[in-house]
Amino acid sequence: MFKSVLVANRGEIACRVFRTARRMGLRTIAVYSEADANALHVREADEAVLIGPAAARESYLDAAKVLAAAKATGAEAIHPGYGFLSENADFAEAVAAAGIVWIGPKPSSIRAMGLKDAAKKLMIEAGVPVTPGYQGEDQSLETLSAEANRIGFPVLIKAVAGGGGKGMRKVDRAEDFAENLASAQREGQSSFGDPRVLIESYITRPRHIEVQVFGDSHGNVVHLHERDCSLQRRHQKVIEEAPAPGMDQATRDAVTAAAVRAARAVNYQGAGTIEFIADASDGLKADRIWFMEMNTRLQVEHPVTEAITGVDLVEWQLRVAAGEPIPLAQADIPMKGWAMEARLYAEDPANGFLPSIGRLDHFVMPDDIRVDTGVMQGGEVSQFYDPMIAKLIVHEDSREAAAARLADACREVEVWPVRTNAGFMARCLDHPRFVEGDVDTGFIAAEEASLLAAQPSPDARIAALNLVADNHHLAPQLGDYLSPWTPDADSAAVGFRLNGQARALFVAQINGDTVQGSVLSNRTGDFTWRIEADDRVAVSRVHGDKVVVNDGAPIGYAGRATGVEGVVFERGYAWPVTMTSHAGPSTGGAASDGGLRAPMPGKIVAAPAKAGDAVTKGQPVVVLEAMKMEHALTAPFDGVVAEFNVAVGDQVTDGAVLAVVKAAD
């Protein structure tokens, strides 16, 4: 076994690999960009090397710099994590040529499975069923359009080198094909350096089923059962679980056997995942499940497989890379209980799920489950990298228990001022369809309206008044401050009542919604006070950093926070509290003025419209690339593009007015 390992990655996966490497007694080495100088993975490593500026192309994707860091630190092995260089066959070859152990599959296997079109052809030869579609060399618009018409709409455009939903577009109508093709090609070129695509038939009730496989240099290939990753938003996985709900043993045997055949077809070594798409319109059946692609690396969702098998997949990676055989035979790999994982993204569900960036002033995770993260309180979510900041993983005896526990864990998340999808995920996990196992990749899109309908509870509104009163020195422990003089909302005395109950009137905003109430002076002396609001009187008590209303569950809250009076945390949501009217978050320009504003710093990559063009509500006007994804800013109403202030290639700052749409007369 080698004695040191460099992780050619960042964030959560780097921290994850370091955890196992330390347990095995290995020296750990991190690489980092200028943006990550104070990142958690840098702090957790035994040694760290700066490899370049913030942009991934000049740091984490620069193979020469990573290799130079390995040589300079005497690293005996390199673990690529996932993303970045993890599926770069040229990098794998360069590592081996330098005499460093590559913790991953052979370059020939990466190449064989790295391009989706070539992989599908190989799987057909190996007898693995594949999704109907086109994976030819001719990439002209004419040919691709003709093939899409032959397959029949809806179709799915997929970047041949893609992954994580990047370079993927669903197209419902022939007239929308060219625009979506151009967007997928741009994203494929930007993310993977390859604009080529393939076309697949779009399965109308798809389930995403994948099988964890593992091979070694001794000719052994095993599977570690299946995972279901059907709960997705815009082709990005949100919640994963193992095993797959509704999978009977006969179907499981067929799918896992096909996965092992696929791995053997490329003489696979190390950890890999065979991804299948299933037509779930009539349940899971072996003859309605097709090969989609292979990921020749460790997957983000690998913890759920670890939970049901008891296997440390990173340890297996390290041992197999060192030449050891797979530790367990197929018959000895267990499948116990049910595991689920929720991906915590720095994004704002109420603002079109746009990524949220900035400093993590408040970052609290549940403490009684497995949490894999690469950030910490005081750290920063950067515009330059993927917005996933943590993974919440649970393992229970049954699927129902796992879903309930994971929902509770999501509700315990407290993050500010960066927004997250924690509350949204809790609502997904609580949804009756999900609880029943009635899921497919269209679940979130179909149920989005109800999943986004959360509002602060009556108790949260009381807590907001409590927070404001506390900030303005009206906490009950100040005793004599609350007097028979009754101030109005502007704290001006309006009257004197010798026998009246003292009160202070407040108007606050919680998540942009007004709440008005009175803080009453009668109290028991133990930090308990009464607040009257929303036609109810509630007893509110400050307990540590929480507010307890009517002896209910504690509602988390922060004191004064940047730009607001404070934040009430409830059920995974962060409700900002202010004393004055507060406009809600922009969706890229207020509909009232027609301004399309950059929701974050980024680069202009397309301009579907220009000054003077007539546009309809929802029509893309300008496309911004940020955090490795494209974000189309659309017309807020029917009208004319009155101003267009940017050009393709421009770098823009947060809040910049990119274009202005004038309403039609």
Residues acting as catalytic residues? 297
Torsion of the alpha carbons at 59, 44, 313 and 106, rounded to the nearest 10:
30
Task: Please check whether residue 424 is in contact with residue 401, taking contact to mean a CB–CB distance below 8 angstroms.
Answer: no
**Angle between helix 302-309 and 313-321 (nearest 10):** 100
Of the candidates 243, 216, 221, the one whose C-alpha atom is nearest the C-alpha of residue 230 is 243
Contacts of 162 (CB under 8 A, 6+ apart): 116, 168, 188, 191, 192
In which residue are the tokens 């540590």 written?
544
Q: Partners of 574 in the beta sheet?
A: 569
**Angle between helix 422-430 and 399-411 (nearest 10):** 150
* The two structure tokens encoding residue 477: 């422990």
Q: How far is CA 597 from the centre of its chain?
A: 23
Check the CA dihedral 426-428-432-438 and report its sign. negative
637: left (phi over 0), alpha (psi -120 to 50) or beta: beta
332: number of Cβ within 10 Å: 8
Of the candidates 637, 640, 627, the one whose C-alpha atom is nearest the C-alpha of residue 587 is 637
Alpha-carbon Rg for the chain in angstroms:
27
Please state the three-class secondary structure of 391-423 as a single string.
Answer: EEEEEECCHHHHHHHHHHHHHCCEEECCCCCHH
| Alpha-carbon distance values, 557 to 358, 461, 465, 547 (Å) | 19, 12, 12, 7
Q: Is 450 exposed, middle or buried (0-12, 13-18, 19+ CB in 10 A)?
A: exposed
**Angle between helix 116-125 and 249-265 (nearest 10):** 110
Of the candidates 295, 247, 287, 304, the one whose C-alpha atom is nearest the C-alpha of residue 271 is 295
What is the enclosing helix (H) or strand (E) of 107? helix 107-114
